[in-house]
């Protein structure tokens, strides 16, 4: 039966042994014979099913296990346990066939040769991937035009700025037009214009070629621009897998208003008089924040009007909760009824 998923991962686990040194000379001597170690479970029972053509954001705090997962999916690391099927292949057992079907960009590491011109790297990769001449010419011209890297082709990689290099890295990952692309922090350290260019480009190849993209990023604007689905990882476990919109929506229902008063007001006074909201101090003097629970029937405009008509107020802000805030909340409080 044809594999239904581009990425199908079951019960994936990766453990690292971390060694600790004993103290003192005696300890160092004992370390020569037996080492103390701890087991760290970087990825713990992760299941992922991603269909061809999906663009999925793989997010989580530092150390959550994102890069370790990507390294296992691309065959760089061997799992401690679990099954990985990528486009119906095992990344380890069918290595040669496998690498011709995937593209990988690690934002922190280059796959281009440092001292040679960018186009030389492209030609070498063309040979590695056994891309036919005609396909290479037409496809690369398109990529070079879209990523606007024409003027960089003669330069050695070491002379490129980070943004220029990243655009070349992406081009390199796509030389063989792979159906599946793994991107680990592809926009790290880039300025906004380059980020936007890269996002537009990824959208285009996804639409044109149905490229499946799994993306890890700390920049949630990347996710917002590209991914309908997010998978949220926490301490090696998937804690959310679903639509970004659903995640946002549940938080947007919480109504939050910031009032800046003209003179100092006691919070207890407001809590009694306007008890439909939960009141707290803001981060500036005279600023107080009112939060109305998701499920409450309170009409926000009526509430704001009541407060404004009863006190002297210099500013009112009705907050839209940002995605960053949503993610932070999730870490602090866990997922609510999404």
Ligand X SMILES: Nc1ncnc2c1ncn2[C@@H]1O[C@H](COP(=O)(O)OP(=O)(O)OP(=O)(O)O)[C@@H](O)[C@H]1O
Is 76 a binding residue for ligand X by CB under 6 A? The answer is no
Quote the least distance from Cβ 42 to ligand X, whole Å: 3
Q: What residues from 95 to 154 belong to the interface with ligand X (CB under 6 A)?
A: none
- With CB under 6 A as the contact rule, the residue among 40, 316, 318, 335 that binds ligand X is 40
Q: Say whether 137 sits in a helix, a strand or coil.
A: helix
- How many positions of this chain bind ligand X (CB under 6 A)? 12
Positive or negative: CA dihedral 279, 281, 286, 288: negative
C-beta of 61: minimal distance to ligand X in Å?
A: 7
Cβ proximity to ligand X: between 79 and 290 the closer is 79
Shorter beta-carbon distance to ligand X: residue 169 or 184? 184
Told to check if 217 binds ligand X by CB under 6 A, we report no
Helix axes 244-252, 323-333, angle to 10 degrees: 80
C-beta of 73 vs 149, nearer to ligand X: 73
* Contacts with ligand X, 53-72, as mask; x by CB under 6 A: -------x-xxxxxxx----
Question: 108 or 301: whose CB is closer to ligand X?
Answer: 108
What 3-state class would DSSP assign to 273? helix
Residue 141: name the closest of 153, 155, 159 by CA.
153
Nearest-angstrom CA–CA distance, 280 and 177: 53
- Contact with ligand X (CB under 6 A) among 6, 42, 231, 288: 42
* Shortest distance, position 99 Cβ to ligand X, whole Å: 21
- Please say which residue, 60 or 103, places its beta carbon nearer to ligand X: 60
H helix and E strand count, the chain: 12, 13
Cα 89 from Cα 209, distance rounded (Å): 20
Q: Which of 119, 36, 112, 48 is nearest to 82 (CA)?
A: 48
CA–CA separation, 120 and 196 (whole Å): 27
> Edge to edge, what strands does the sheet with 81-86 contain?
36-50, 7-20, 81-86
- What is the chain's length? 338
Query: Shortest gap between Cβ of 51 and ligand X (angstroms)?
Result: 24
Give the nearer residue to ligand X in terms of CB position, either 71 or 199.
71
Minimum CB distance to ligand X, residue 212 (Å): 20
Residue 67 vs 74, nearer CB to ligand X? 67
Beta bridge partners of residue 280, listed in sequence order: 289
Q: Which is nearer to ligand X, 118 or 222 (CB)?
A: 222
CB of 58 to ligand X, least distance (A): 9
Cα atoms in the 13 Å half-sphere on the side-chain side of 18: 6
**282 and 319 Cβ atoms separated by less than 8 Å:** no
Q: Shortest distance, CB of residue 65 to ligand X, whole angstroms?
A: 4
β-pairing verdict for 81-86 and 7-20: antiparallel
Identify the residue among 1, 2, 18, 309 touching ligand X (CB under 6 A). Answer: 18
Q: What is the contact surface with ligand X in residues (CB under 6 A)? A: 16, 18, 40, 42, 60, 62-68
């Amino acid at each position: 039966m044809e594999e239904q998923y581009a990425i199908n991962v079951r019960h994936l686990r990766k453990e690292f042994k971390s060694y600790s040194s004993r103290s003192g000379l005696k300890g160092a001597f004992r370390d020569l014979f037996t080492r103390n170690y701890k087991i760290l479970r970087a990825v713990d029972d992760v299941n992922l099913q991603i269909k061809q053509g999906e663009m999925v954001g793989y997010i989580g705090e530092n150390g959550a296990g994102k890069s370790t997962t990507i390294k296992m999916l691309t065959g760089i690391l061997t799992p401690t346990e679990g099954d990985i099927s990528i486009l119906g292949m095992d990344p380890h057992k069918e290595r040669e066939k496998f690498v011709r079907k995937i593209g990988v960009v690690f934002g922190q590491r280059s796959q281009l040769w440092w001292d040679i011109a960018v186009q030389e790297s492209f030609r070498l990769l063309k040979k590695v991937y056994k891309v036919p001449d005609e396909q290479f010419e037409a496809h690369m011209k398109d990529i070079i035009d879209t990523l606007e890297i024409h003027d960089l082709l003669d330069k050695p990689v070491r002379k490129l700025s980070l943004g220029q290099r990243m655009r070349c890295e992406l081009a390199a990952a796509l030389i063989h037009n792979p159906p599946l692309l793994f991107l680990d922090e592809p926009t790290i350290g880039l300025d906004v214009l380059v980020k936007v260019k890269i996002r537009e480009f990824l959208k285009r190849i996804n639409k044109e070629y149905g490229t499946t993209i799994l993306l890890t990023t700390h920049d949630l604007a990347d996710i917002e621009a590209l991914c309908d689905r997010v998978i949220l990882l926490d301490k090696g476990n998937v804690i959310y897998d679903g639509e970004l919109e659903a995640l946002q929506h549940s938080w947007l229902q919480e109504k939050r208003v910031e009032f800046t008063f003209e003179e100092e007001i006691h919070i207890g006074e407001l809590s009694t008089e306007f008890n439909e909201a939960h009141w707290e101090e803001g981060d500036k003097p005279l600023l107080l924040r009112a939060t109305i629970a998701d499920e409450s029937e309170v009409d926000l405009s009526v509430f704001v009007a009541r407060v404004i008509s009863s006190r002297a107020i210099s500013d009112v802000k009705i907050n839209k909760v940002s995605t960053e805030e949503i993610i932070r909340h999730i870490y602090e409080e866990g997922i609510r009824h999404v």
